[in-house]
Structure 1
């Protein structure tokens, strides 16, 4: 009875949702095959597009205007530095080459990670900050 036994299924890196893996069960004389359809739970940060990953992250207004550095999570669990050039528009997409999903047919190669940066406007600015913004407005 298949339902009362546990089986180990080896899932290759880079497998995509909807792909099937054939699992051989039983002895060689009495072997049966079980087709397993892969379902992948959605990640809370990353969206998969083929072998690439998409993520949305934030930058401050100052980083958008003057440039700077932000730290972006990658699928390995680490964070890597991403240089933001001066005058970066809201919604700009940066490509992190080789930081996406492993490619199933070439497990040593990886897709890319696409990072969309969103400007977060300051909240509850002080009177001094408001005056500085007004001075900037007058210079424009």
Structure 2
């Protein structure tokens, strides 16, 4: 199959109508050597009409570099807020810790379709160091 034939063929599939379902992607961005695991998580999806539903809580074993998704359940819904709760354990640390996040960055006339959250270390640098970075075509060449 040529590239043109493939392009034409993929256009033949009926993709159907998009629904109001919303996906929240959770990623553990901690370095693998830290042995930090997200062991449980759940998401509340809130709709513009005042109703809500929950995906979870459920047991997961999300290690550094892994991700999972949570989904709203109302095809006709307009998600305007998501609340996420996770429980994390780390090697060498006693017990577990619970973290939460609230996502409400949608405009009044829009509905959320996909959002992503990452759990990992913060990485801030001085603005003066940022100006010394060497960029080419949107990719960093030198470490900053």
Whose radius of gyration is greater, 1 or 2?
1
TM-score with structure 2 setting the length:
0.27
